[in-house]
Chains A and B, each alone.
Chain A
Amino acid sequence: MPSHSAKKVKLMKSRTIKVSNLARVEGEGGMYIRIRDNKVQEVRFNIFEPPRFFEAFLRGRRYTEAPDITARICGICPVAYLMSACHAMEDICGIEVGGRLRELRRLLYCSEWIESHGLHIYMLHAPDFLGYEDAIQMARDHGDMVQRGLRLKKLGNDLMTCLGGREVHPINIRVGGFYRVPTRRELERFIEPLHWAIDASKDTVARVASFPFPDYERDYEFVSLRHPDEYPLCEGRLVSNRGIDIDISEFFDYFEERHVAHSTSLHSVVRERDDYLTGPLARYSNNFDLLPPMVQEAAGEAGLGETCTNPFKSIIVRSVEVLYACHEALRIIENYERPEKPCIEAPPRAGVGHGCTEAPRGSLYHRYETDSEGIIRDARIVAPTSQNQKAVERDLHAFVSENTKLPDDKLTWQCEQAIRNYDPCISCSCHFLKLKVDRE
């Protein structure tokens, strides 16, 4: 059943379905689908969450403030904002944070993936496949699964708190590194829980792979970071399965943000082509070879190939990424030696810098221009959901076109599910969702 009332306004040839608010996505917006003679004429995301003007009020602030200010864009993926901002500013300062500090940053990123993916898999997405209105109802019949999700999420939260000072909007990250780095003992207490989490994540991959999935494949242009040596979190070149392979500083040479009337979030497109997809499906498909053998094996046993083009199977891919994040976190902690200094100096410089990291929902790009005093003169932030927005619309257009004969309530339900495939964060993109299907 739909998670909220689907109100039929018209019957027979001309029908309108309204859903007041799409549940289990972050932010506010709506969707409009117009169908004529069983053909989809138009699909629109009507994102009406107010623009938040972060790029404007970053101007005039110091370069050191960008990470903490931009982290406030999102309570679900603040680490992505912190890290993209830090990398961009370090690019301007001409420094590179490497070695143990870089490892700690990867660990911090792992905590966000565990926390965010864990929440989406168990609390927001699984109820769609198992036929429940929400995770609370699902808990009645699948308490073990919900409890596992809560425990995984708590592990991500605890790790975030250890490294970042608190579980939401961490405050221990700065340009050049950290304010304080943990002792080995502080991190060692996560070894046992991470061993549990790896087993739990393997089980999750197998469990979600048994869900019923629509037979639905899309021909996406997958865009993600790619690093020569590791599954991408914080660094790499931007690549796509259609030939893009660029330094992140070339972002706006290849990608363009366009304003559309029905959205306060900009749409991103590949300049020479059109929509593209970023996020778990893209990362996985562009970087499968970089996953550790144990993770590849779990994916294979779950029926995933080296690429995945069924957006409904994103829940499997997210589970694979949680497994990876737990594995990577354990590796980092087991090899951890406390850095001698929590950060390296990052003196201000005039220039332009770029940062791009892999938020749970996809690539998050930042570009800043500062003066010689380190004052921000210009800021550009391209969030994953705004990059994915057009692909989601196209996806829905294709999905509804193949399913126009479904009754309104089922179509509405599956459209909502299709949107949740992307774990969209509208608050990020406007820095979404009412659904309206108009049939004639």
Chain B
Amino acid sequence: MKDHRTVIVIGFGNGFRADDAVGFFAAERIRDMNLPGVTVRCISGDGMSLIEEWTVYDRAILIDGTFSGLAAGTIRRFDALKEDVPVEAFRKHSTHSFGIPEITAMAGELGRHPAEVTVYGIEGADFTPGHNMTGAVRRAALALVARLARGELVPDGETR
């Protein structure tokens, strides 16, 4: 038996495209915490292969930038096993690759996913290649990381 739940945190995006880096930024902050039972990955290309490997975890937390017209830094949470993740909000990295909405939909069809799959979208303002992340998005990412560290990433039986 496992001592505690295992979680995989996956940051999506493009580290060279301003607020598109927010998934990576948040995931790397979580990696820095060395939390027990927490595995962190960053994906800039096709994430569909995740379906072949993430079933060993109890929970998956996916983080990516969104561009849906909301205020920069707005955080949205989706329970991907109970609701559709809006395709129009998440940037697709390539027509040959698949983003979070496609991955979660495919995993649902195949029944290959952790027991819980949560998606966080952080609204970006600037996706210009070569630009740095904007302040509002950076602050939102740090707030999300702090929230996760107090809640969804805490192993069972522990409190922080």
Contact = CB atoms under 8 A, between A and B. Distances in A.
A135 B95 contact: no
A124 B94 CA distance: 13
A60 to B, nearest CB: 19
A24 interface: yes
B6 interface: no
A136 B102 contact: yes
Contacts of B48: 123, 150, 153
A75 B112 contact: no
Nearest to B97: A75
A362 interface: no
B39 interface: no
Interface of A: 23-27, 75-76, 119, 123-124, 135-136, 139-140, 143, 146-147, 150-151, 153-154, 157, 167-168, 425, 427
Contact of B110 (A76, A146, A425, A427): A146
Contacts of B51: 147, 150
Given A26-B96, A153-B49, 15 more contacts: A27-B95, A75-B45, A75-B94, A76-B94, A119-B46, A119-B96, A123-B48, A136-B102, A140-B109, A146-B110, A150-B49, A157-B49, A167-B45, A167-B49, A168-B44
A24 B45 contact: no
A140 B106 CA distance: 9
- Which 4 A/B pairs are nearest by Cβ-Cβ distance? A168-B45, A139-B109, A154-B49, A154-B52
Given A139-B110, A146-B110, A154 B53 contact: yes
Interface string B44-61: 111011011100000000
Contacts of A75: 45, 93-94, 96-97
Nearest to A151: B52
Interface in B29-48: 44-46, 48
B105 interface: yes
Contacts of A140: 109
B105 A136 contact: yes
